[in-house]
Amino acid sequence: MSREPVIDARRLRYRYDDGTLALDGIDFRLGAGETVALLGPNGSGKTTFVLMLNGLLAGEGEISVCGMRLERRSQTAVRRKIGMVFQDSDEQLFMPTVLEDVAFGLLNQGAGREQALEAALGALERVGMRDAGRKAPYHLSAGEKRRVALAGVLVMSPEILILDEPTTYLDPPGQRELIHLLKGLPQAKILVTHDSSFASALAQRAVFFVKGRLVGEGPVDEIVRRFSWDGRSG
Amino acid sequence: MHHVVIDRWSRRTSPIHAREPRTKLIALAVFLISVATTPGVSPLAGAGYMGVLIAGIALSRLPLGGVLARAAVVLPFSVAFAAVNWLAGDAGRAVALVAKSYLSAAAVLLVVATTPLEQFARAMEGLGTPRLIALVVQFLYRYLFVVSEQAQHMRVAAACRAPRVPGAGGGLRFRAAAGAVGVLFARSYARAEGIHRAMLARGFEGRFPAVALARPRLPDFLFLLLAAALSLAVRIGVGRA
φ, ψ for residue A181, nearest 5 deg: -65, -45
Residue B236 DSSP label: I
Per-residue confidence at B172, pLDDT binned at 50, 70, 90?
Answer: low
Please give the pLDDT value at position A90. 83
Q: Do A76 and B203 touch (CB under 8 A)?
A: yes
Residue A1 DSSP label: -
- B43-60 helix and B64-71 helix, angle to the nearest 10 degrees: 130
CA–CA gap between residue A110 and residue A116 (Å, rounded): 9
pLDDT of A179 strictly over 60 = yes
Q: Mutate which of A52, A57, A86, A90 to test chain B, going by most B C-beta atoms within 10 A?
A: A90
φ, ψ for residue B218, nearest 5 deg: -55, -45
pLDDT per residue as tens digits for the range B79-97: 998 999 888 888 888 999 9
Assess contact for A213 and A26: CB atoms under 8 A: yes
Of A8, A38, A45, the closest CA to residue A23 belongs to: A45
Average pLDDT over residues B31-47: 89
Of B231, B211, B2, the closest CA to residue B120 belongs to: B211
Chain A neighbors of B149, CB-CB under 8 A: 90, 138
* A5-226 carries CATH number 3.40.50.1000: no
Per-residue confidence at A151, pLDDT binned at 50, 70, 90?
Answer: very high
Q: Which residues pair with A9 in a beta bridge?
A: A28, A63
Chain A neighbors of B197, CB-CB under 8 A: 51, 56, 86, 91
Per-residue confidence at B189, pLDDT binned at 50, 70, 90?
Answer: confident
A91 close to B (CB below 8 A):
yes
Q: Do A109 and B11 touch (CB under 8 A)?
A: no
Cα–Cα distance list, A83 to A12, B128, B150, B199, B217 (Å):
20, 36, 27, 11, 42
Q: What number is the ipTM of this complex? A: 0.79
Instruction: Indicate the pTM of the whole model.
Output: 0.72
CA end-to-end distance (rounded Å), chain B: 40
Chain A neighbors of B204, CB-CB under 8 A: 104, 108
Assess contact for B227 and B27: CB atoms under 8 A: yes
CA–CA gap between residue B145 and residue B227 (Å, rounded): 31
Amino acid at B49: Y
Q: Mutate which of B202, B204, B207, B211 to test chain A, going by most A C-beta atoms within 10 A?
A: B202
Q: Do B203 and A80 touch (CB under 8 A)?
A: yes
Average pLDDT taken over every residue of chain B: 84
Q: Is A39 helix (H, G, I), strand (E, B) or coil?
A: strand
CA–CA gap between residue A209 and residue B114 (Å, rounded): 51
Q: Do B209 and A104 touch (CB under 8 A)?
A: yes
Per-residue confidence at A234, pLDDT binned at 50, 70, 90?
Answer: very low
Per-residue confidence at A190, pLDDT binned at 50, 70, 90?
Answer: very high
CB-defined contacts A:B, below 8 A? 68
Q: Mutate which of A52, A108, A113, A150 to test chain B, going by most B C-beta atoms within 10 A?
A: A108
**Chain B residues in contact with chain A using a Cβ-Cβ cutoff of 8 Å:** 4, 7-8, 11, 116-117, 142, 145-146, 149, 191, 194-195, 197-205, 209, 211-212
Q: Residues A181, A184, A188, A194: is their CA dihedral positive or negative?
A: positive
- DSSP per-residue letters across A134-176: TS-GGGS-HHHHHHHHHHHHHTT--SEEEEESTTTT--HHHHH
